[in-house]
Structure 1
Amino acid sequence: MTAQPDAMRWSPPAVLVGLAWAGAAGAATWCWLLISGGADPAGRLLAGVAAVLLFTAAIFGTVARPRLVAEAAGVTVRGLRGAQHHPWPRVRAIRVMRIRRFGREVPMLELDVLDDDGRERLLVFGRLDLGDDPDAVAEALTRASQHR
């Protein structure tokens, strides 16, 4: 993916990625202390699971930057397995869905895209993926798709 000056980029907030790395290091240290101190198996398991989850979140937040890029040719989505580009003609729909979580509505950006082999895929992004309001991102993507 070549960087274009007029491209719009959305990524997980750098502060949160840094906190995930710090939390992962802390959880790994906690796990090591519990293992070396002969703590109970349940505590070691809990610390191990916390360390693995935080390391996974930190790696994902680092590798998948920028998470979503919109440019004149289409959108590019980054994940753990690299970047996938979807030209605008293959972006079938851009919408924001509202999901009730923990007693409040949470907006989620959804993109319906066609893969290279013609299979339809649903890509879902939340505020943590984008580092911005999904409604604002949907509006920007809609404008960009109309100017292709």
Structure 2
Amino acid sequence: MAYLNPEATTPDLDEAAAAVGLQELVERLGGYETGIPPGGGDLSQGERQLITLARAYLSPAPVIVLDEATSHLDPATEARAENALATRSGTLIVIAHRITSAERAHQVLLLDGPVPLLGTHETLQTRSETYADLVGHWHT
């Protein structure tokens, strides 16, 4: 987990694991020192994503870009991880197709056609028929 922050302490690792919901997996694997073979071994796609999200949480990077980084997570775990990363200092950019990610965002950039639209989830629903349709299709 300390791949992007080799100076991370055990309390730092504990905080990151708790923040993204990784504690159960850490315990099941036998702790932070457990080696994971290349390709993730027997871990599911979602478990591998959680480890990567914990690494991002620990990273000192001032900007984090998540590109479909929660695609293998259930909605509750996705929300927990995105909210945890949003509490870090710095900038979080989330690229996602799930409307739930847009609903949590401070600003949403809609790229559809020649003119990009920037606004909150609420304002884009009134300013963009395309966005309103996406929201409507997601929730029905």
TM (normalized to structure 1)? 0.26
- Whose Rg is larger? 1
Ranked by relative contact order (alpha carbons within 8 Å, sequence separation 6 or more), the top structure is 1
Q: Name the one with the larger helix percent.
A: 2
Q: Name the one with the larger strand percent.
A: 1
TM (normalized to structure 2)? 0.27
